[in-house]
Amino acid sequence: MECAGKPAHSKMEPQSKMLLKPLQFRNVTIDFPVVLAPMAGYTDAAFRSVCKEHGAGACWTEVTSAEGIRRDSQKTFQFLKVSELDHPIAGHIFGKSVEAMVEAAQYIEKLGCFDWIDLNCGCPVRKAVRRGAGAALMKEPEQIGEIVRAVKAAVALPVSVKTRIGFSPAFPDHLAIAKIVEDAGADMISVHARYACDFHKGDADWEKLREIKQTLNIPVIGNGGLDTPEDAPAMLKATGVDGVMIGRGAVGNPWIFEQCRAALAGEPAAVPTLAERREVIETHLLHLVEMTASTAVGRRRKAQYDPEQGACMHFRPHLAQYLKGLRGRRELLQQLNEMKTVETIMAAVDKVLEKNMECGGLPPLSCAELAPRVAEASLGKQSAGKSAQSKTIKPPQSIEYGIQPLEKIMEEHGLKNHDLVAASKEGLTHKQVQKGRKGRRLTRNIQDKIAKALSLSTGETYTPSRLFDYN
């Protein structure tokens, strides 16, 4: 039986133009329905503003506890801070109790700064599931229906639901849950195309998204498996959904929304320059400092860190993604815990960017780019009608600098060409280099040897961070 997951598509193929219509439900219109997903710990007002500046069509707040709102928790209220840039934006709440969800929805409506209310019925985080909320509600789909009906009756704002295709294959199917949501009166639904028990692992099941879209009359936004600009038109074509929602693919890469717009128009996506990357890093960090300072005002309990320190600590996972693929990133991350001011972080970022400018700003090699380089350096060219013959490359400097030829390194560690290609694709040091088999493991020491040997063999500058994807 074939896996009905995300269809394969080549990043190199030119994309044909695809029309993406504005998404409308009740009085809400999302002109460009490529939207930012709600992510706990990431999609605060600072990050949302950066994504909106780079083309996100709409935003959701972080997952906000209905019980926290009900109990007047100051920590919970900070998740509901919005800016003018955020619109259209949904107040995104989770909970199990019908009464708590109704009270939270009414509070959000009274704030007067949200365009609609979104009910979370798909968060797989253990803290939420343990309380019977989030994804746990998919075990009791009738409870989802009760919550939607009660919230719809209590507020005038449009109401949507964010869910998944199911908690696990053992519980009611995706169509039953989606139909309950629609029948209860929801105005829109967004669906992550993985089971909650899988979190973000494995391929997203776009076929189930297609079935949901064909079954429902309300707008459907698809989520899951959207990592590149080309994935947006691919999902739309495969599923027919009314919009797409990007989560982890936007962390450290807010340009993905602009790139999706280009991909949908059949145009090549622009890659941000190092200068543009620096500008966004600094803008995001300064927005975060401002947000942290504003949320500290009026707090009952004094914060452990001042706003700048708190913002810099919160920014760490974002910075790791912003610098992904750049030389010097590893060294910066090792020192990150000591950086507690904007000045020190930006000084470290500048060092990383300068190092990459000196090297011509070249990105890490892709799997496809690495393959011929490895083959050329270790095996030489194939003779017509003959298999590739081993050829030892001995650069003049290799003995002087104590560097072994690449073929010798590969022989010593039992490596083949496909091992190096797989390692480039799979990534981290000490990870198995080929999924689905007992692959070779490339330690940092081996990666250093390979980088030096390739540099001497080809005359180009190679580093482990260019050859291997350090996440």
Task: Tell me the catalytic residues.
Answer: 123
- Pairwise CA distance, residues 100 & 65, whole Å: 9
- With CA atoms as reference, report the closest residue to 323 among 307, 336, 308: 336
Query: Cis peptide before 396, with omega less than 30 degrees from 0?
Result: no
* Per-residue CA distances from 2 to 6, 7, 10, 195 (Å): 12, 11, 20, 18
Q: Which H or E run includes 161?
A: strand 159-164
Instruction: Locate 279 and state its tokens.
Output: 């500008």
Per the CB < 8 A criterion, the answer to whether 424 and 365 are in contact is yes
Could you give the angle at the alpha carbon of 250 between the alpha carbons of 322 and 319, nearest 5°? 20
- Pairwise CA distance, residues 193 & 208, whole Å: 7
Amino acid at 430: H
Given the DSSP bridges, would you call strands 23-25 and 28-30 parallel, antiparallel or unpaired? antiparallel
Instruction: Locate 40 and state its tokens.
Output: 């706990």
Could you give the angle at the alpha carbon of 422 between the alpha carbons of 421 and 428, nearest 5°? 110
- With CA atoms as reference, report the closest residue to 272 among 256, 288, 286: 256
Distance from chain centroid for Cα 18: 23
3-state DSSP call for residue 83?
coil
- Pairwise CA distance, residues 357 & 59, whole Å: 34
- With CA atoms as reference, report the closest residue to 228 among 5, 71, 15, 424: 15
Distance from chain centroid for Cα 39: 9
Per the CB < 8 A criterion, the answer to whether 332 and 348 are in contact is yes
Q: For residue 368, what are the contacts with CB-CB under 8 A and spacing of at least 6?
A: none
3-state DSSP call for residue 96?
coil
Instruction: Locate 309 and state its tokens.
Output: 């320190």
- Pairwise CA distance, residues 66 & 102, whole Å: 8
Q: Which H or E run includes 1?
A: none
